[in-house]
A and B are shown apart, each in its own frame.
Chain A
Amino acid sequence: MIFDAAFESAVDAIVAKYPQPKAAVLPVLWEVQKRMGFIDTAAEAWVAQRLGVAPAHVHGCVTFYTMYKQRPSGRYHVQVCTTLSCMLRGSDELVTHLERRLGVPVGGTTPDGKFSLVRVECLGSCDTAPMFQLNDDYHENLTLEKVDRLLESLS
């Protein structure tokens, strides 16, 4: 169970930063996702109860903000930017290559749960296009060879 004493005090510290507890919804959801990898309805209910808002409100936030995951992703979550500047520098070819290489379509997760692949909108790294975000980290100025080397280096 993630909602232990340590988590409670983390939530307290977050709530203290704001004049109203509802403002803690996004940061607390981040904490939930950090610990669980995703956010399910039970977690939503816990957050709602803890912050004094309706479960539907929390669910509304989880579904509105694209970075909250409602189900587990792969251990390595590959988020390829395909907005205009990246498209101009070959992001579509990058996506095709990743689909072939990982054997899953965009939106998919490999059967072993190692990789998941998504397309995302502009990540603010247009000068180093094409690029993707792998979990928290940006990987920039990608070539297909660089991508292959990177994927092979991941255990």
Chain B
Amino acid sequence: MPAERILTRNVGRPDSTTLAAYEANGGYQALRKAVGSMTPDGLTEEVKKSGLRGRGGAGFPTGLKWSFMPKEVDPKRPHYFLINADESEPGTFKDRLLMEQDPHLVLEGTLLGAYAIRASVAYIYIRGEFVHGAAVLERAIAEATAKRYAGKNVLGGGWSCELVVHRGAGAYICGEETALMSSLEGDRGYPRLKPPFPAASGVWKCPTTINNVETVANIPFIVERGAAWFSSVGKPPKNTGPKLYCLSGHVKRPGVYEAPLGLPMRELIEELGGGMLHTDRPLKAVIPGGSSVPVLRADECDLDLDFDSLMAKGTMLGSAGIMVMDSSVCMVAAMARIAHFYHHESCGQCTPCREGCGWLERILNRIETGLGLPSDLDLLLSVSDNIMGNTICALGDAAAMPTISFVKKFEEEFRHHIEHKTCLTGTLAMQGVR
């Protein structure tokens, strides 16, 4: 039996972006309940009990994050709630679905989070390319504000909260929470050292909480149905609630699939995704959490897609971007493409990342084109090792971790490229090389 659709219950319904349709399906009742009968700390406590972990990539407990905020607002240092809608991790497209198809769910979750942390304004930082999603959100905010779900004196309860859409302009790094704050302040998207953590000193040096779109989309359901219900979904106690999985690559039916946390990967690929795209090309590898996480070989794919199961296998759920690769894929070409991404997106602040990602891309490209040296595999590992842990943010690690895993798990393919100047798969690779 397919699991109940929670987060995507309005997706695909007629007029799903309108306030009327959202209200008709029980929308904004959670906000009414919270503002009417719950204290901010009571709401935070409920979210803590639910076990909700952040859906942006790190899996940090949401209620705990909220609890780091000051319990009283210093008028000189207002609290800010930031929604990370910068969704740019390769392989990830779930937040876009929510924003484009159920914007009021995103807004209700945003308002609840803002209420819990005592913020009077929430900025939704959406990547610049999502022109359509930003327009949908703007319209929804106008509707919600007109009905006093947002703006001054929300539902007559005395608390006010403005909602503002802030568009990025093309920079992957702005999905990193401190870079997002820099960008919102009008600077280049440069990450900042932590501490200070955002709850102590965030945007404009004020107490700040940053949550992912999908994370806040869970909040209305926690309020409505209770923490006990939420924590019974998925794999309690540490991997609870519904989850959106982004399936792409060589499957018949790529798409966003909702399931309780802990969905078996085989079920996602073979049942929900309809199996491999080409029946004569078996599964070769899967990147389970967006391109920043270590790759899994086909023989490692009998596992559940949740934070801890993937951690136990040396990789991560990340943003739940599951990228499926079949036997035609040259792993050198695939990794070279990933390295190109990180080199392109490195903000340039930290030398190990700025230079190291360039080294990775160049070395991988020369292996890919048949010009690799026998020492190159060690060099890739050495460069990766010199990036990891030596930068302000995790972008460098996000380039190094897949590199290490690709080289170690598919070493034979890399060696073949170097020794024979040809590719074992011979399909995607060796373009322009004789």
Contact = CB atoms under 8 A, between A and B. Distances in A.
Interface of A: 17, 19-20, 22-27, 29-30, 51, 53, 57, 60-61, 64-68, 82-85, 87-89, 92, 120-129, 133, 136-138
Contacts of A23: 184-186
B59 interface: no
Nearest to B162: A17
Contacts, number: 145
B213 to A, nearest CB: 11
A126 B324 CA distance: 11
Contacts of B291: 83-84, 122
B188 A126 contact: no
21 contacts: A20-B185, A61-B187, A65-B189, A66-B169, A67-B128, A84-B334, A89-B249, A89-B250, A121-B88, A121-B172, A122-B88, A122-B91, A122-B172, A124-B93, A124-B96, A124-B127, A126-B92, A126-B93, A127-B93, A127-B246, A127-B255
B320 to A, nearest CB: 12
Contact of B171 (A25, A64, A127): A64
A30 B91 contact: no
A67 B129 contact: yes
B248 A129 contact: yes
A56 to B, nearest CB: 11
A53 B188 CA distance: 13
A124 B337 contact: no
B183 A26 contact: yes
Nearest to A17: B164
Contacts of A51: 186
B363 interface: no
B197 interface: no
Contacts of B256: 127
Contacts of A53: 186
B289 interface: no
B317 to A, nearest CB: 17
A14 to B, nearest CB: 10
Given A88-B248, A123-B129, 17 more contacts: A19-B204, A26-B169, A26-B183, A27-B167, A60-B188, A64-B171, A64-B188, A64-B347, A65-B170, A65-B188, A88-B249, A121-B341, A122-B91, A124-B127, A129-B254, A136-B132, A138-B132
B329 interface: yes
Nearest to B402: A84
B334 to A, nearest CB: 6
A66 to B, nearest CB: 4
Given A61-B188, A88-B250, A127-B254, A29 B341 contact: no
B52 interface: no
Interface in B238-258: 246-250, 254-256
Nearest to B131: A136
A47 to B, nearest CB: 10
Interface in B201-253: 204, 246-250
A127 B247 CA distance: 7
B344 interface: yes
B57 interface: no
Contacts of A124: 87-88, 92-93, 95-96, 127, 129-130
B90 A121 contact: yes
Contacts of B337: 82-84, 87
Interface string B117-139: 00000000001111110000000
A22 B186 contact: yes
B167 A126 contact: no
B255 to A, nearest CB: 5
A24 B287 CA distance: 38
A83 B166 CA distance: 25
Contacts of A22: 185-187
A8 to B, nearest CB: 19
Nearest to A89: B249
A120 B189 CA distance: 18
Interface in B148-191: 162, 164, 166-172, 183-189
A66 B399 CA distance: 20
Interface string B327-356: 001000110011001001101000000000
B89 interface: yes
Interface string B75-107: 000100000000111111101100000000000
Nearest to A19: B204
A66 B171 contact: yes
B321 interface: yes
A121 B127 CA distance: 12
Contacts of B347: 64
Contacts of A19: 78, 204
Contacts of B345: 121
